[in-house]
């Protein structure tokens, strides 16, 4: 089976696409899977690293603001259909899969016109433009939240599967937890807040945590903080200006990036993070309470919608980006982190939306679509 997968830009689009690709390859080992992306996004690192071929087109997101640059980008995106056609002629796909985003525009326009079986996966609670644009034309839409179906009225085939992720809930013995925490630089005895902002870090979260570190205001709890590779050195310098050494902070361990995220999520007591669809899924799977700081958007507030799914269950608290300060963050952290019973209740509530057998549901849905098409 020849498969084309369109995924570009951020890990939120690319990582689910890679998990889907891996499942197809597992089920059909002789499959030829080719990704289509741009030369700008994380796909250029993640896709080749996963062992898949990546072909490039020039595509851009549609902006509400009308100016010369956006008009030029729109024209380039439309013209990129010529490149998509060439890729299709070469690969001869039996199936086209997309995980949302601007890259789907030219790819799915060509696939639908050629009557090739098409599948879209929407990770967010509120669907993005690409999914809504093609909702009535594609053969199958897979969604990460049950509620997403309400926004896809008229779509002919929508199935809730959850969002695929590599993070799983793991039972970690006491001695192993101590080893993991000590290895990153904190103790096993105090509660642990795990703070991260995606692969590049989150500046607003970093600013609030920096104030906490400078003032040593984390009393009787510890912070494991992934600052992001690009922001780590900036934070290190600001700490030095405040008379602090990044390697010798009081109950705070700062790293550029966390490579053992599954282990640390399972070892932590409370999470502080953005609320992308992938993060929501991972939080629900490991069953951890969270404080979400949704990434603000000029358009639909997708991360706010995502965060509210867990907030309504009592599994999370939300601090809007423009409301995040050291004082507000400390107030929310201290309202739960010392209360083991509360932490447990919130974590259990998060598991209510944890998807099960996601990859299997996805491959079965695709197979059924292909059989019944």
**Pairing of β 53-56 and β 32-37:** parallel
Q: Are 295 and 305 in contact (CB under 8 A)?
A: no
pLDDT at 64 over 80: no
Q: How far is CA 216 from CA 136, 157, 219, 341, in A?
A: 54, 53, 8, 26
Contact 292, 310 (CB under 8 A): yes
- Sorted by sequence, the CB contacts under 8 Å of residue 40 that are 6+ apart come out as 8, 9
Predicted local distance difference test score (pLDDT) of residue 218: 96
CA-CA distance, 41 to 7, in Å (whole number)?
9
Q: For 84-134, how does the pLDDT look when each residue is reduced to its tens digit (9 = 90+)?
A: 999 999 999 999 999 998 899 999 999 999 999 999 999 988 898 889 999
| Two structure tokens written together for 176 | 């192993």
Residue 8 vs residues 20, 24, 40: alpha-carbon distances, Å: 15, 19, 8
Contact 328, 272 (CB under 8 A): no
Say if residues 218 and 329 touch (Cβ distance below 8 Å): no
Q: What pLDDT band is residue 300 in, cutting at 50, 70 and 90?
A: low
**Which pLDDT does position 118 carry in this prediction?**
98
Model confidence pLDDT, tens digit, residues 126-159 = 898 889 999 999 999 999 988 899 999 899 899 9
All domains of the chain, ordered by start, with CATH? Answer: 2-163+356-372 (3.40.50.2000), 174-353 (3.40.50.2000)
pLDDT at 230: 83
* Residue length of the chain: 373
Which residues make Cβ contacts (< 8 Å) with residue 13, sequence separation at least 6? 7, 99, 100, 101, 103, 123
Whole-prediction pTM value? 0.80
97 contacts: CB under 8 Å, gap ≥ 6: 3, 4, 5, 6, 17, 20, 21, 118, 119, 120, 121, 366
């Amino acid at each position: 089976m020849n498969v084309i997968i369109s995924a570009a830009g951020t890990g939120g689009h690319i990582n689910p696409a890679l998990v889907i690709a891996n499942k197809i390859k597992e089920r059909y080992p002789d499959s030829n899977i080719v990704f289509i992306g741009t030369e700008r996004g994380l796909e250029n690192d993640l896709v080749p690293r996963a062992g898949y071929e990546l072909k490039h087109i020039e595509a851009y997101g549609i902006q509400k603001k009308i100016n010369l640059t956006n008009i030029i980008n729109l024209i380039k995106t439309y013209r990129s259909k010529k490149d998509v056609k060439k890729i299709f002629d070469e690969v001869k796909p039996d199936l086209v899969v997309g995980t949302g985003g601007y890259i789907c525009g030219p790819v799915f326009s060509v696939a639908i016109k050629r009557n090739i079986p098409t599948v879209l996966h929407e990770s967010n609670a509120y669907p993005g433009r690409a999914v809504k644009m093609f909702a009535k034309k594609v053969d199958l839409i897979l969604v990460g939240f049950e509620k997403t179906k309400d926004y896809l009225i008229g779509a002919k085939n929508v199935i809730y599967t959850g969002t695929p992720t590599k993070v799983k809930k793991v039972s970690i013995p006491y001695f192993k937890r101590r080893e993991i925490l000590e290895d990153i630089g904190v103790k096993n005895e105090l509660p642990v807040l795990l703070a991260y902002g995606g692969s590049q870090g989150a500046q607003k979260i970093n600013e609030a945590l920096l104030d906490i570190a400078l003032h040593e205001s984390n009393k009787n709890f510890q912070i494991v903080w992934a600052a992001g590779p690009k922001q780590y050195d900036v934070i290190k310098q600001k700490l030095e200006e405040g008379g602090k050494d990044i390697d010798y902070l009081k109950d705070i361990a700062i790293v550029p990036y966390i490579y053992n995220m599954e282990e640390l999520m399972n070892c932590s007591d409370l999470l502080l993070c953005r609320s992308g669809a992938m993060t929501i899924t991972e939080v629900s799977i490991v069953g951890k309470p969270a404080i979400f700081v949704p990434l603000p958007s000029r358009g639909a507030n997708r991360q706010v919608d995502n965060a509210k799914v867990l907030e309504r269950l009592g599994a999370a608290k939300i601090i809007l980006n423009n409301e995040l300060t050291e004082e507000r963050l400390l107030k929310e952290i201290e309202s739960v982190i010392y209360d083991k019973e509360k932490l447990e209740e919130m974590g259990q509530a998060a598991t209510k939306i944890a998807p099960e057998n996601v990859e299997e549901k996805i491959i079965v849905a695709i197979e059924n679509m292909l059989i019944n098409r």
